[in-house]
Amino acid sequence: MTDGVNAEAIWSHAGRQPRIAIIGAGMSGIAAVVKLGKAGYTDLTVFEKSNRVGGTWRENTYPGLSCDIPSRWYSFSFALKPDWSHRYPYGPDILAYMEDVARDFGVMDKVQFNMPVDELQYDAPRWRLTTAQGDVQDFDVVIAATGVLHQPVVPDIEGLQKFAGACFHSARWDHSVDLVGKRVGIIGTGSTACQIVGAISEQVGELHVFQRTPHWIAPLPQKEYSPSWNRLMARFPVLQRLAYHWYFQILLHTFSAATVGNRFMQRLITRICLKHLKESVPDSALRAKLTPDYAATCKRLILCSDFYPALARPNARLVTDSIARIEPGGVRTASDQLHELDVLVLATGFNAAAFILPTRVIGEDRVELARRWDGAPRAHRAVALPGFPNFWMLEGPTSPVGNLSLITVTEHQVDYVISMLDRMKTDALSAITPRQSAFENYNSAMGEAIKHTTWYTGGCESWYIDKSGVPNLYPWSPAQYLEEMRNPDFSEYHLLS
């Protein structure tokens, strides 16, 4: 593959630092810069499309924004924070934490802000990167740290553009719009919608929530940490480490276990959700509309304590009729009822099949990543692709998701990439790329295993399901995946000198 290439162009032959491009300065990008730097890889350039770090926590600013993973675990292992304000962190607190970590660990110095990447093209043994401004640079290694849910999906509903009031996606919240006393409609009832409904129900005049499918919702055991408790955590850092691992194990053996075959935990979660619904919604007819007809954890379990009480308020309307069209004055449903609105919020999620796309990624033999994936993205162990040498993904296709700390998953993936770079340096390799057979065997095994999970058997439609018709998820215990990341099997890869 490298016949005729000047040895100086191959970093491991020349004994120099590899030039590494990192796409995205969100949580994954920050983790990559810090951990790569600690491992001795310091020639790093981060390309960030926006003017701030933070990723999804920068993009999403809607009312009620919070994380359903405990703050003590939703933290970088190398930067545990003693003074979280709440057990479950709110969006502004997470963004401030991300910015503090990026500043404290020198990440900011590596970032080129307002610099989206238009194209990546492999020209052995390097990648040619072209920015939206037309700048062209060559890199030895590319790491896609773009995240999973970053491209908002706007529903294809007739007349949407004709709505006369304010209309925006939840990930593009318009803070100039005053909701006080207004008639507000929300399309969607996923985790984002639940948080918004709970946050705005008391201030709006009317709240119309358009539900296609009810969700399983467990109460969020929120707690505000006292200053004295946080001082104790700061004084004894071992307590932070213990809390990190305690929450890790709790969620691993509850929510995660329920999705991959633990029937006891599945039944327990179902009972908890039904009890929460019964205690929060006195009206039996409303409860019936809010009761799912599929298995709990078939979709991502929602943790939210104020959604049900908000819907039980006299100014709230749960609309289960399908939407026929949008009119200037509001939303008309299939029963020909017009729900008159001043504001319409689209809590309709994201394109979960995009990952680094729409950046054009061109591998060997000019194969384009978008065409190869064709709406059903797959990868080898969620981080690599045959035909795309020295191209690595963080939180790539079939990464463990669900009710887990993606920071933990990302950190293990960065360590996996570091193992690959170390092997390249030790053996003077020009490239590493998965074998096609390893890729096919791995994805075939996942395709069979996913059929035994609640995501597949639970009887629901979810954003986990891509064009292939099956959930695009890691089907085994997340602990197994983390172990795989700790122990790379180099026989699965072409090691090219």
* Measured distance CA(393)–CA(391) in Å, rounded: 7
Tell me: the pLDDT tens digits for 28-78? 999 999 999 999 999 999 999 999 999 999 999 999 999 999 999 999 999
* Cβ atoms of 421 and 487 closer than 8 Å: no
What Cα–Cα distance (Å) separates residue 459 from each residue in 348, 468, 495?
20, 16, 43
Q: What is the pLDDT of residue 186?
A: 98
DSSP reduced 3-state for 125:
coil
* Cβ atoms of 12 and 425 closer than 8 Å: yes
The answer to whether 7-53+107-151+351-496 and 160-223+272-346 have equal CATH topology is yes
- Assign residue 114 a region: left if phi > 0, alpha if psi is -120 to 50, beta otherwise? left
Least confident stretch, 97-101, 151-155, 329-333: 151-155
Residues constituting the chain: 497
Q: What percent of the chain has pLDDT over 70?
A: 98
Average pLDDT over residues 404-433: 96
Cis check: omega of the bond before 389, within 30 degrees of 0: no
Tell me: the pLDDT tens digits for 380-408? 999 999 999 999 999 999 998 767 899 99
* Cβ atoms of 274 and 288 closer than 8 Å: no
CATH class of segment(s) 160-223+272-346: alpha beta
Q: What is the pLDDT of residue 9?
A: 84
The CA dihedral of 59, 64, 67, 71, to the nearest 10 degrees, is 110
Distance from CA of residue 101 to its chain's centroid? 19
Q: Where are the domains of the chain?
A: 7-53+107-151+351-496, 160-223+272-346
* Measured distance CA(406)–CA(69) in Å, rounded: 9
Is residue 1 scored above 50 in pLDDT?
no
DSSP state of 418: H
Percentages helix, strand, coil for the chain (3-state, rounded to 5) are 35, 20, 45
CATH class of segment(s) 7-53+107-151+351-496: alpha beta
Q: Which amino acid is at 491?
A: S
What Cα–Cα distance (Å) separates residue 210 from each residue in 154, 162, 225, 324?
15, 18, 35, 12
* Nearest CA-CA partner of 150 in 60, 29, 90: 60
DSSP state of 3: T
Q: What is the pLDDT of residue 5?
A: 57
Place of tokens 């504001």: 343
Average pLDDT over residues 476-481: 90
Q: What is the pLDDT of residue 125?
A: 94
pLDDT band at 260 (very low <50, low <70, confident <90, very high): confident
Tell me: the pLDDT tens digits for 126-181? 999 999 999 999 999 999 999 888 899 999 999 999 999 999 999 999 999 999 99
Is residue 2 scored above 60 in pLDDT?
no
* Measured distance CA(365)–CA(123) in Å, rounded: 10
Is residue 259 scored above 80 in pLDDT?
no
* Cβ atoms of 213 and 334 closer than 8 Å: no
The two three-digit tokens of residue 472, written as one number: 């695009």
* Nearest CA-CA partner of 454 in 249, 301, 253, 352: 301
Q: What is the pLDDT of residue 7?
A: 59
Is residue 423 scored above 70 in pLDDT?
yes
Is residue 226 scored above 50 in pLDDT?
yes
* Cβ atoms of 221 and 250 closer than 8 Å: no
* Measured distance CA(346)–CA(334) in Å, rounded: 19
| R_g over Cα of the chain | 24
What Cα–Cα distance (Å) separates residue 259 from each residue in 147, 304, 395, 477, 478?
22, 19, 19, 9, 11
* Cβ atoms of 67 and 86 closer than 8 Å: no
Cis check: omega of the bond before 70, within 30 degrees of 0: no
Whether the CA torsion 230, 232, 237, 238 is positive or negative: it is: negative
The CA dihedral of 244, 245, 248, 249, to the nearest 10 degrees, is -150
Q: Which amino acid is at 20?
A: I
Q: What percent of the chain has pLDDT over 90?
A: 86
* Measured distance CA(122)–CA(102) in Å, rounded: 29
Please state, rounded to an integer, the average pLDDT across all residues of the chain: 95
Residue 37, phi then psi, degrees to nearest 5: -60, -40
**Number of helices (H) and strands (E), helices first, in the chain?**
16, 21
Q: What is the DSSP string of 25-94?
A: -SHHHHHHHHHHHHTT---EEEE-SSSSS-THHHH---TT-B-SS-TTTSS-TTS--TT-SBSS-BHHHH
* Cβ atoms of 307 and 197 closer than 8 Å: yes
* Measured distance CA(221)–CA(224) in Å, rounded: 10
* Nearest CA-CA partner of 107 in 154, 59, 48: 48
pTM as predicted: 0.95
